[in-house]
Amino acid sequence: MGLRSRLFALTYNRLMASGEKAGLAEIRAKLLARACGDVLEVGAGTGLNLTHYAGEVNTVTVTEPDTSMLRRLERAGGRTASPPTILRAPAEDLPFEDATFDTVVSTLVLCGVDDQPRAVREIRRVLKPGGRLLFVEHVRSDDAAAARRQDRINWLNRLLVGCDCNRPTLETLERGGFGVDDIVHGELPKSPSFVRRRGAKLVRANGIDIAYTEAGDGPPLILLHGALASTGPVWAGSPVAFVDHMHTLGKHFRVIAPDTRGSGATVHPGGPATFDVLADDVAALTEALQLDRPMIAGFSEGGATATYLALRHPGIVRALVNYAGFDIFDPEAMAHQGVRPMFGGSPDAATADPDAAERTFQSIPPMAATFATMKADYDDAQGDGHWRTYLGLFFDRFCTVEAACAAYRTLPAGELGIVPGTGHEITTQIIDAMTAFLIRHSPTA
């Protein structure tokens, strides 16, 4: 073993410490609570799993091919109440008879073995009939954009830590004869990620991974941003984003603020991204997070999405705030007349023209900064040039007092709020009015 191997073994526990504290240790504990009988752990590393074996486990045998790791593994094993049997062996060549173990454990191993199919065949060979493989592994993402990012960085990952983060591990397991009956997809805590850089979480809903941030405690409130924006920290200080107001709203509510499909860190895999789809995303998010009739508040495009949600899923929404997003429901609204020239470059444009949109926004000083922030935010989250793709999906809309009154008259029950001297922006006065309305309609009122 070379210098890199010795350095990796020396620093491994320190490198993993933040992830273990943030939740990886809990993941290990939950996984290994299912181990039973005679257990084999392959690629045991420095022994981070050893303290989690208990319950119905009879014996623990661990293997590790790296001599530098093996020395640390032996020290860790000696500190346990029931020291395991420790052997030097690669996962591709296990020194055991067929059908020896009831459980085999592999955590962050199959991404680094030299021959993954062979290692899987060996694991299956040493398992008893009806035995179980418990694993936590880096795998290739199902999302095409995320998978491309994995491909781009894989050479560096392999060089630094000997890990191929983009292997189709589940396919390899199934080809090796394993039936996968219980699988949870997610992110390792504290792993390098464009999502975690933003302080966001991911939840699977409506067929996509929705990135969202949270603040506060109390009745649930889903906060939907407008077009061009997101919940990313780069929007702090922007008058068209909710980022600066999350703390204030969090004093009264449990605020869940997702990046809508295609925006920020929520990847859109392709196909239509209509308001119906956006509304169904929010409905699925509500179910995934087990929210009981949350209140919904949206600005601009987010207000339109919130209203579509209430129309398509009326039983989900407890109370709704549509701020500056109601004109989508009025065919005569000014926004419909301005969208084509602003985002398409001409009054009869049939598709978005990102260059024309950029020229338009740069010619409007208040909007130039918003456009520049959007480009930086979206490209950082989803790759260079994503802002161009986004403009083909979504566009901002502007509302008038007259349009607000027209929309209000159609409501069987509702409140109309007009804040004088406020443009297409989110101000403290707007947040105060929104908060007062939501408190009146909260389940604790």
Question: Can you give the pLDDT at residue 372?
Answer: 85
**Same structural domain, 297 and 221:** yes
**Same structural domain, 57 and 123:** yes
Q: Report mean pLDDT in 10-residue bins for the chain, 445 residues.
A: 67 73 83 95 94 91 93 91 93 96 95 93 96 88 69 69 80 88 65 58 89 92 93 88 93 95 89 89 95 95 92 92 80 62 73 82 74 85 82 54 70 80 86 94 82
Of the three residues 175, 210, 245, the one that is the final residue of a domain is 175
Side chain identity, residue 203: V
Query: Which CATH number belongs to the domain containing residue 159 in this structure?
Result: 3.40.50.150
**Same structural domain, 141 and 220:** no
**Same structural domain, 241 and 282:** yes
**Same structural domain, 279 and 399:** yes
Question: Can you give the pLDDT at residue 347?
Answer: 72
Report yes or no on 408 lying in a domain: yes
Of the three residues 142, 175, 208, the one that is the final residue of a domain is 175
The alpha carbons of the chain give a radius of gyration, in whole angstroms, of 26
CA-nearest of 186, 191, 143, 162 to 20 is 191
**Same structural domain, 115 and 218:** no
**Same structural domain, 335 and 217:** yes
Report yes or no on 180 lying in a domain: no
**Same structural domain, 105 and 232:** no
Report yes or no on 182 lying in a domain: no
**H or E segment at 28?**
helix 25-32
**Same structural domain, 171 and 282:** no
Number of domain units in the chain? 2
pLDDT per residue as tens digits for the range 102-112: 999 999 999 88
pLDDT per residue as tens digits for the range 146-182: 677 677 777 766 766 677 878 888 889 989 989 877 7
**Same structural domain, 283 and 340:** yes
Query: Which CATH number belongs to the domain containing residue 374 in this structure?
Result: 3.40.50.1820
**Same structural domain, 153 and 287:** no
- Domain holding 350, by residue range, is 196-440
Q: Rounded distance, CA 291 to CA 346, Å? A: 43
**Same structural domain, 51 and 125:** yes
Of the three residues 118, 140, 175, the one that is the final residue of a domain is 175
- Helix 3-19, helix 67-78: angle, nearest 10: 50
Report yes or no on 190 lying in a domain: no
Report yes or no on 181 lying in a domain: no
Question: Can you give the pLDDT at residue 192?
Answer: 40
Sign of CA dihedral 197, 202, 208, 210: negative
Report yes or no on 47 lying in a domain: yes
Question: The tokens of 333 are what?
Answer: 């609204």
Taking the CB of residue 25, how many other CB atoms lie within 10 A of it? Answer: 18
Which ranges of 257-409 would DSSP assign to H, the alpha helix? Answer: 275-288, 301-312, 334-339, 354-362, 365-382, 386-391, 401-409
Tokens 């955590």, located at residue: 107
Report yes or no on 169 lying in a domain: yes
CA distances from 76 to 35, 46, 65, 161 (A): 19, 7, 16, 21
Report yes or no on 284 lying in a domain: yes
Whether the CB-CB separation of 300 and 396 falls below 8 Å is answered with yes
CA-nearest of 118, 162, 134 to 30 is 134
